[in-house]
Structure 1
Amino acid sequence: MMHKTIGERAFDGFNAALMVALALVTLYPLVFVLFASLSDPNAVVQNRGLLLYPKGLTLEAYKLVFANPNIATAYVNTLIYVVCGTAVNIVMTSLGAYALSRRNVMWKNTIMFLIVFTMFFEGGLIPLYLLVGNLGMLDSRLALIIPTAVSAFNLIIMRTAFQGVPVSLEESARLDGASDWTILARVVLPLSLPVVAVMVLFYGVYHWNSWFPAMIYLQTRELFPLQLILREILIANDTGSMIGSVASSDSMPIGETIKYATIIVATLPILFLYPFLQKYFVKGVMIGAVKE
């Protein structure tokens, strides 16, 4: 067993203290929002220092949030966008990555150059808006799913991962009469599950947090995702529809706690997803790392 010197032990202690400090600094904003959402509204407004525990524990803000029909509708819409959008993303990215990872595909290097080119140069918002409008997808759910069907960055990661699948497995499958569809579904994808899990995480988090495309393409409030409603509450200070029967003198304090409660409601589901996919994260990214 190697014995560490005083300098090495001092460095380890300093490194551990620094990591703990960074973790606390990163975690405290979320803890503050959680405690504020569970606190008495007047206590939150009057608080001027650190909030280390809920002051006057109450669930009134959450009751008002879940009683708001806009929140419930936006939650359902977001789940639809996340599930359907991620499914389309995985299917389209897998198909593109598989085709570009095969050795006998003509012009695949040229196609990859054009795909990488789009990562640095794009047409801009106005041509994209006109395209979505000409395709008849404005003010529809498709406007939030189809234009983002494939991410060039994620396609490159998945393509590199597919290239790591042994060629002998593909040749054996073809000798057994398997088609490209069968090889992709029963050989390549099962051997690339860590990368697929990372893609689900990337695409799912994107759809869950996305609000700008909805603000651009949607006019019907019944189609708004949760993050767009959250933006209205936080930026436009639109909490009046939730306060309802609360006395006007108490509307400002309860409005503050409603904002915090809405943030927690919008954040917790995606936080619960991370532990299930975390074990695949590093492995999936490393397998799909871009290499020569």
Structure 2
Amino acid sequence: MTTATAKTKVKVNARPNWEEPPTPAGQAGKGLILAVVVAVVAVPLWMVVLTSLSTQGAVNEAGGMVLVPGGITFEAYRQIFTNQLVMHSLLVSLGITIVGTVISMVVTILAAYGLSRQNSWAHRPILLTLVVTMFFSGGLIPTFLVVSALGGYDAYWSLILPTAVSVFNILVVRAFFANTSQDLIDAAHIDGAGDWRTLWSIVLPTSRAVTAVVALFYAVGYWNTFFNALLFLPDNQKWPLQMVIYTYTLQGNAMPGTGQNTTGQYFGTQQIAPLAIQMAVVTLTLIPILLVYPFVQRHFAKGVLLGAIKG
């Protein structure tokens, strides 16, 4: 048993004949490159989180973003979570993300399934029309006029419907659906299943990878949206969280309800720097994506590459 296990291990770990064995210099180079990539990603994130937890003195000592921990305080987060504007914008972003992702996924899946069936009605002209929209659009002003004429100005749906469908995502999902085993589909039809039952019971269960990846793409897009809010939502009480960041972080405006005075200092139980408040809001926007991404990451290679290559 031990000999068989050893032979199996040798076979599994054996390198192809055409592949040269790794050299110490090559291994060190790979490790160095990976370390640099991790540092490029992790260090800015570390500075954002640490700055949001720093006192006014620590920020002043660092001259801006804090890299080495100094005075640590949660006062910035306390002020955020007691700020009605920030908390309401967080709920708006969550609602837009959930509702928008559901609508986008329903439309994308139905469109992709219909276009993946070769005998579906007018699927080629419809597909050509969709592809054309990837390269040509009406432009910003016509979009604003159409959405406003339909009653979208100062309405939440203007953050969802104008960008509800991505033709690229439809094409990726369509390519994946088109390569679903035809034997399974024929067997379902023989058993009396219609298109709806085939889609729900056969196609979707075998396409979880691509649907998970596309759903994440849509969710991240809705979560990060601010430009449509800039165009269609003049009332700051309806703004999503990203619009709050754009206005009160990037532009440096005073955030209502945080106790900012004319000198730009924030006072609570401790003296808090405006930069700490801003970085706390930025950190708040990163948390949902960081929580969701690990559960979807394993589907990325299979979902995107296979969906793009097949068909």
Q: Same fold (TM over 0.5)?
A: yes
| TM bin (shorter chain) | over 0.9
Relative to the length of structure 2, the TM-score reads 0.87
Q: 2:293 matched to which residue of 1?
A: 274
Counterpart of 1:286, as a letter, is L
Equivalent residue for 1:179, pick from 179, 194, 201:
194
**Counterpart Cα distance in 2 of 1:50 and 1:201:** 30
Tell me the residue number matched to 1:236: 251
Which structure has the bigger radius of gyration? 2
Task: Report 1:11-22 matches (<5 A).
Answer: 11-22=26-37
What does 1:1-292 correspond to in 2, within 5 Å? Answer: 8-48=23-63, 51-244=66-259, 250-251=265-266, 254-292=273-311
TM-score (norm 1): 0.92
1:81 and 1:240 map into 2 onto residues whose CA distance is 22
In structure 2, give the amino acid aligned to 1:276.
F
CA distance in 2, matches of 1:137, 1:190: 36
Does the CA-based 8 Å contact 1:38-1:57 persist in structure 2? Answer: yes
CA–CA separation in structure 1 for the residues paired with 2:63 and 2:40: 18
Q: Provide the rounded CA distance (Å) in 1 between the counterparts of 2:212 and 2:166.
A: 15
Counterparts in 2 of 1:243 and 1:218: CA distance versus 1, 3 Å = closer
Return the letter of the residue paired with 1:262.
V
State whether residues 64 and 275 of structure 2, in contact with CA within 8 Å, keep that contact through their aligned partners in structure 1: no
Q: Deviations over 1:156-197 (max 9, x none)?
A: 000001011111222221222222111111111111111111
RMSD: 2.3
Measured against aligned partners, the alpha-carbon deviations of 1:239-272 in whole angstroms (never above 9, x if no partner) come to 3424317795744962111011111011111111
The whole-number CA distance in structure 2 between the counterparts of 1:100 and 1:86 is: 21
Contact 1:156–1:290 under 8 Å retained in 2: no
- Other structure's SS at 2:204 match: helix
**Equivalent residue letter for 1:259:** Q
Helix, strand or coil at the partner of 2:256:
helix
Unaligned runs of 5+ in 2: 1-13
* Structure 2 counterpart of 1:185, one-letter code: W
Q: CA separation in 2, counterparts of 1:277 and 1:176?
A: 33
Q: CA deviation at 1:117?
A: 1.4
Higher mean displacement: 214-223 or 202-211: 214-223
Alpha-carbon spacing, 1:130–1:240, altered in 2? closer, same or farther (3 Å): closer
Report the Cα distance in structure 1 between the residues aligned to 2:256 and 2:264, rounded to whole angstroms. Answer: 16
Residue 38 of structure 1 deviates from its aligned partner by 0.8
Cα distance change, pair 249–32 in 1 and its aligned pair in 2 (3 A):
closer
Contact 1:243 1:255 in 2 (8 A): no
Deviations 1:84-124 (A, max 9, x none): 00000000000000000002024323322221111111110
Q: Please, which moves more after superposition, 70-79 or 179-188?
A: 179-188
Q: Is the 8 A contact 1:39 1:58 kept in 2?
A: yes
Q: Which consecutive residues of structure 1, in runs of 5 or more, have no partner in the other structure?
A: none
